């Protein structure tokens, strides 16, 4: 295979037929380039949406009370449903695949928070320990809310990194310091960060403390929990919860406005299905691009052989065997397509890198990267199909009588 | 060198069968300078192609250097052409993207001679043709006479036993034609058999033996008429 003289002959032929070589290579390079861009964009979109989802747990179910819209057992419609700590306990007790659970009490306070002379307005979220996993918050220092905080109504706060930046100047360690929340002092026991930038403007306090301090009784404004069940199971669970709450709060189980249940796993699954769709779409276009490339290469190879018929005749007249003719044409095509495929690969990956940098802050697009092995396989496919497309006419040309080839004008 | 007996060849075009060579007997000894003449359609080019192993025949026999040339693989035919025969064509048939030197050197590529050696040999032959200064020119930068001399140099480079020329002066003016013929004579003086197909009388007259073909048969050799019935006897006396 490695015959230096043969390669020299091939290289000089390529060099002296630049346009022909370029056209052969171009369809391959373009096909691979487009494929890489296509696969990369699809992947980027998927990465982007998955990142958005990672901001909260993807397997959580959120329950919000609403207003009844159907009269039920003597109750008129328009009744406000009130959730209480009892709902928290019931769900905690009865849902079998439950992982983390948290209730929330939304205090009707302004959210003005101060430390010494620094003031700021932040979201105050009162919740249970399970809130950390549901919100996907990670502790940077100290700890999150724990069960004793809830039981003993401790006035503690876990604050986001942005809150730390805003209130604690000169890199003072906030742990153990007292914040004033609407004038009431809360001890900072932890600092958290969150994949969602906005959520780092929050401070978390125990739900029981909030209920007590702000006269909330046992009211909760929403309930959220994560499960380890499959999407199918979680759909059944939602069904069960609706019936269970309907019984406890006396509303029609078919009354969709009395209780809102948001199943993120179901939504995640919908996105997954959408991605399946996008992936299939990308593949269809990708395969189409490759087929166009194959057709292009085949076409050019056929023209090349036709154009070289006379040259083949001359070579045969002066002593070239059919085998040497075929290998000359095929090696030339393989050399051009491999090189062009490589160029397409490099250009495609390069462009994706540039795009990746340029679109860093564009939501729903992240790390557009092509599957490298797919690109390599596609290149190999084009090389092989180019070789096959060249082989058929080359074989025919190499076998016709030189006298006929020479007559070809 | 060449021994042909009762050679037949026909071409099939669609439903028509064209009987081009209808039983030719021919003997050409080593070192002869022969011309084959005839009007178009007389079968002279076909005969030359068969002699050059570019085409096969239907009936009879053809011995080249005491070797029976019959149906053989393309590979073997290519080998024999490369070893025994040099071709010169009317339309030169140079490879357009190769320069003069590379064109001359190409037959040696198929003998696996290294690039360096074959280029040296090619330069030597170009020098003999007086074309050393044109070695790096592409064929389309050269005149017809120059192209034909390059083609002759190419046919010579493998030191063949026979040179077959198909209308080598057909595309050249008279003065250039005579130059080319002079070249063929010099080649012949080296002991190489030269066979020239032509329809020009003055060209054929520069050769030592003129074979006239008519309708697929030999009409005369050096003007001596040959009758079909005593074809075989006459030929053996030539």
What backbone phi and psi angles, to 5 degrees, belong to A353? -60, -45
**Residues A116, A96: one domain?**
no
| Chain B residues lying within 8 Å of A320, measured CB to CB | 78, 110
pLDDT bucket at B164, cuts 50 / 70 / 90: very high
Instruction: Identify whether residues A165 and A231 lie together within a single domain.
Output: no
pLDDT, tens digit (0-9, with 9 covering 90-100), for A255-285: 888 889 888 877 777 878 888 888 888 888 8
Helix H or strand E encompassing A16 = helix A4-16
> A with B: how many residue pairs have Cβ under 8 Å apart?
70
Weakest mean pLDDT among A43-57, A132-146, A168-182: A43-57
Q: Domain ends where: A147, A182, A215? A: A215
Partners of residue A20 in chain B, C-beta under 8 Å: none
Give tens-digit pLDDT for B94-118: 998 889 999 999 999 988 888 889 9
In the prediction, which pLDDT does A380 show?
87
Shared-domain flag, residues A316 and A332: yes
Q: Tell me, what's the pLDDT at B36?
A: 92
Instruction: Give the closest-approach CA distance of A340 to chain B in angstroms.
Output: 23
**Residue A319 with chain B: CB contacts under 8 Å:** 78-79, 81-83, 107, 110-111, 158
Residue A285 placed within a domain: yes
Do A306 and A362 lie in one domain? The reply is: yes
Q: Is residue A292 part of a domain?
A: yes
Residue A3 banded pLDDT, cuts 50, 70, 90: low
- The residue of chain B with its CA nearest to that of A14 is B97
In a domain, B3, yes or no: no
Q: Establish if A307 touches chain B: CB-CB under 8 angstroms.
A: no
The 3-class secondary structure across chain A, one letter per residue, is CCCHHHHHHHHHHHHHCHHHHHHHHHHHHHHHHHHHHHHHHHHHHHHHHHHHHHCCCCCEEEEEECECCCCECCECCCCECCEEHHHHHHHHHHCCCEEEEEEEECCCCCCEEEECCEEEECEEEEECCCHHHHHCCEEEEECCCCHHHHHCCCCEEEEEHHHHHHHCCCCCCCCCCEEEECCEEEEEEEEEECCCHHHHHEEEEEHHHHHHHCCCCCEECEEEEEECCCHHHHHHHHHHHHHHHHHHHCCCCCCCCCEEEEEHHHHHHHHHHHHHHHHHHHHHHHHHHHHHHHHHHHHHHHHHHHHCHHHHHHHHHCCCCHHHHHHHHHHHHHHHHHHHHHHHHHHHHHHHHHHHHHCCCCCCCCCCCCCHHHHHHHHHHHHHHHHHHHHHHHHHHHHCCHHHHHHCC
Q: Are residues A46 and A156 in the same domain?
A: no
Instruction: Nearest by CB to B78, from A310, A319, A406: name it.
Output: A319
- Partner-chain contact A321 B79, CB within 8 Å: yes
* Domain match, A321 and A358 both: yes
Instruction: Residue B60: count other Cβ atoms within 10 Å of its Cβ.
Output: 16
Query: What Rg, from alpha-carbon coordinates, does chain B have?
Result: 18
Q: Which of A311, A313, A322 sits opposite B74 (nearest CB)?
A: A322
Q: Is residue B130 part of a domain?
A: yes
Judge if A285 and A366 occupy the same domain: yes
Which of A319, A324, A406 minimises the CB distance to B107? A319
In a domain, B10, yes or no: no
Task: Give domain status of residue B86, yes or no.
Answer: yes
- The tokens for A408 are 């070809």
| Contact at CB, A317 and B106, closer than 8 angstroms | no
* Lowest mean pLDDT across A136-150, A283-297, B31-45: A283-297
pLDDT at site A99 = 86
Residues A142 and A166 in one domain: yes
Where residue B207 sits, what CATH number does that domain have?
3.40.50.300
pLDDT class for A110, splitting at 50, 70, 90? low
Rounded Cα distance between A393 and A297, Å, is 13
Q: Is the pLDDT of residue A389 over 80?
A: no
Q: What is the C-alpha to C-alpha distance for residues B50 and B237, in angstroms, rounded to an integer?
A: 23
Q: Is B230's pLDDT higher than 60?
A: no
In this prediction, residue A109 has a pLDDT band, given cuts at 50, 70 and 90, of low
* pLDDT-above-90 percentage for chain B: 44
3-state class percentages of chain B: helix first, strand second, coil last, to nearest 5: 35, 25, 35
B83 touches chain A (CB under 8 A): yes
Q: Does B78 touch chain A (CB under 8 A)?
A: yes
Residue A235 corresponds to which tokens in the numbers above?
């759909």
**Contact residues on chain A for B106, CB-CB shorter than 8 A:** 315, 318
Please judge whether B54 and A401 are an interchain contact, meaning their C-beta atoms are less than 8 angstroms apart: yes
Q: Does B110 touch chain A (CB under 8 A)?
A: yes
Among B55, B75, B97, the residue with its CB nearest the CB of A17 is B97
| Residue A18 touches partner B, C-beta closer than 8 Å | no
Residue-level pLDDT at B234? 47
Of the candidates A17, A313, A319, which has its C-beta nearest B79's C-beta?
Answer: A319
Mean pLDDT of B77-90: 89
Span A228-243, pLDDT tens digits: 878 788 888 888 888 8
Chain B interface, best mutation among A11, A310, A318, by max B CB count within 10 A: A318
Contacts of B154 in chain A (CB under 8 A): 318
What is the domain range of residue A200?
Answer: 107-215
C-alpha span between A111 and A180 (Å, rounded): 10
Mean pLDDT of B171-192: 90
Q: Could you read off the pLDDT of A8-39 as tens digits, one per residue?
A: 878 888 887 888 888 888 888 888 888 888 88
* Residues of chain B contacting residue A314, judged by C-beta atoms under 8 Å apart: 93-95
Q: What is the pLDDT of residue B238?
A: 44
Do A72 and A208 reside in the same domain of the chain? Answer: no
Which residues partner with A112 through β-bridges? A121
Q: Closest approach of chain A CAs to the CA of B222, in angstroms?
A: 28
Domain count across chain B:
1
Within B110-223, where are the H helices? 115-128, 144-156, 174-189, 201-204
3 state SS of B74? helix
Query: Is there a domain that residue A266 lies in?
Result: no
Residue B101 domain flag? yes
Cα dihedral sign, B130-B135-B141-B147:
positive
Residues A97 and A148 in one domain: no
In a domain, B21, yes or no: no
Contacts of B93 in chain A (CB under 8 A): 310, 313-314, 317, 406
**A94: which residues sit within 8 A by CB, 6+ positions away?**
A244
Closest CA in chain A for residue B163: A318
- Helices then strands (H, E): number in chain B? 8, 11
B78 chain-A contacts, CB cut-off 8 A:
316, 319-322
Query: The tokens 């060449």 sit on which residue?
Result: B2
- For residues A301 and A392, what is the distance between their CA atoms, to the nearest angstrom? 10
The interface pTM score, or ipTM, of the predicted complex is: 0.86
Mean pLDDT for chain A overall: 84
Name the residue among A310, A318, A401 with its Cβ closest to that of B107.
A318
H or E stretch covering A190: strand A184-193
**Tally of CB atoms within 10 A around A103:** 30
Beta carbons of A44 and A365 less than 8 angstroms apart: yes
Does any domain span residue A383?
A: yes
pLDDT of res. A2: 52
Number of DSSP helices (H) and strands (E) in chain A, helices first:
13, 14
First-last CA distance in chain B: 14
pLDDT for res B227: 62
Do the domain assignments include residue B61? Answer: no
Give the count of beta carbons closer than 10 Å to the beta carbon of residue B15.
5
Q: Kindly report which listed range (A43-47, A87-91, A149-153, B162-166) carries the lowest average pLDDT score.
A: A43-47
Residue A263 inside a domain? The answer is no
Mean pLDDT of B52-61: 89
* A208 is a domain residue: yes
Structural domain count, chain A: 3
Same domain flag for A39 and A12: yes
Decide if B6 is inside a domain: no
Shared domain check, A295 and A246: no
Inside any domain, residue A240: yes
**pLDDT number for residue B228:** 57
Residue A16 belongs to some domain of the structure: yes
């Amino acid at each position: 295979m490695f015959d230096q003289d043969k390669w020299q002959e091939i290289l000089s032929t390529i060099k002296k037929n630049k346009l022909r070589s370029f056209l052969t290579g171009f369809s391959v390079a373009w096909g691979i380039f487009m494929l890489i861009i296509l696969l990369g964009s699809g992947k980027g979109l998927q990465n982007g949406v998955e990142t958005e989802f990672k901001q909260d747990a993807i397997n959580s179910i959120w329950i919000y009370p609403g207003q009844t819209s159907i009269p039920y057992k003597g109750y008129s419609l328009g009744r406000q449903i009130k959730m209480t700590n009892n709902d928290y306990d019931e769900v905690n007790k009865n849902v079998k695949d439950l992982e983390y659970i948290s209730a929330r009490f939304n205090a009707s306070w302004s959210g003005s928070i101060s430390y010494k002379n620094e003031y700021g307005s932040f979201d105050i979220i009162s919740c249970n320990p399970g809130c950390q996993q549901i919100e996907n918050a990670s502790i940077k220092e100290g700890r999150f809310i724990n069960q004793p905080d809830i039981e003993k109504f401790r006035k503690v706060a876990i604050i986001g990194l942005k809150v730390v930046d805003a209130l604690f100047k000169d890199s003072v360690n906030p742990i153990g310091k007292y914040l004033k929340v609407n004038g009431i002092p809360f001890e900072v026991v932890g600092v958290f960060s969150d994949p969602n930038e906005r959520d780092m403007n929050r401070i978390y306090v125990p739900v029981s403390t909030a209920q007590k301090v702000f006269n909330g009784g046992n009211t909760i404004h929403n309930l959220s929990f994560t499960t380890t069940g499959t999407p199918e199971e979680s759909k059944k669970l939602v069904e069960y919860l609706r019936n269970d709450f309907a019984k406890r709060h006396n509303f029609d189980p078919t009354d969709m406005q009395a209780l809102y249940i948001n199943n993120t796993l179901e939504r995640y699954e919908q996105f997954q299905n959408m991605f399946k769709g996008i992936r299939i779409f990308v593949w269809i276009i990708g395969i189409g691009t490759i087929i166009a490339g194959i057709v292009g290469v085949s076409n050019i190879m056929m023209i090349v052989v036709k154009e070289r018929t006379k040259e083949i005749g001359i070579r045969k007249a002066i002593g070239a065997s059919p085998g040497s003719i075929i290998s000359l044409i095929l090696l030339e095509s393989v050399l051009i397509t491999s090189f062009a495929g490589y160029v397409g690969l490099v250009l495609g990956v390069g462009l994706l890198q540039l795009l990746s940098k340029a679109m860093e802050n564009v939501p729903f697009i992240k790390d557009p990267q092509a599957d490298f092995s797919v690109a390599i396989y596609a290149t190999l496919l084009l090389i092989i199909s180019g070789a096959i497309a060249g082989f058929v006419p080359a074989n025919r040309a190499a076998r016709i009588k030189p006298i006929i080839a020479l007559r070809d004008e | 060198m060449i021994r042909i007996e009762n050679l037949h060849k026909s071409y099939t075009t669609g439903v028509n069968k064209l009987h081009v060579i209808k039983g030719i007997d021919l003997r050409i000894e080593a070192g002869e300078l022969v011309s084959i003449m005839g009007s178009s359609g007389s079968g002279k080019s076909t005969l030359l192609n068969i002699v050059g192993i570019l085409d096969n025949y239907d009936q009879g026999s053809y011995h080249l250097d005491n070797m029976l040339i019959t149906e053989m693989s393309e590979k073997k035919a290519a080998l024999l052409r490369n070893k025994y025969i040099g071709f010169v064509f009317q339309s030169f048939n140079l490879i357009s993207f190769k320069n003069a030197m590379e064109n001359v050197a190409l037959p040696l590529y198929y003998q696996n001679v290294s690039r360096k050696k074959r280029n040296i040999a090619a330069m030597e032959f170009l020098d003999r043709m007086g074309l050393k200064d044109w070695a790096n020119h592409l064929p389309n930068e050269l005149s017809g006479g120059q192209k034909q001399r390059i083609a002759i140099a190419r046919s010579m480079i493998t030191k063949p036993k026979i040179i077959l020329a198909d209308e080598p002066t057909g595309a050249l003016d008279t003065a250039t034609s005579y130059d080319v013929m002079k070249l063929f004579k010099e080649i012949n003086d080296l002991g190489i058999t030269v066979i020239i197909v032509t329809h020009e009388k003055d060209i054929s007259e520069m050769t030592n033996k003129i074979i006239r073909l008519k309708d697929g048969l030999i009409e005369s050799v050096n003007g001596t008429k040959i009758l079909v019935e005593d074809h075989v006897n006459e030929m053996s006396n030539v």
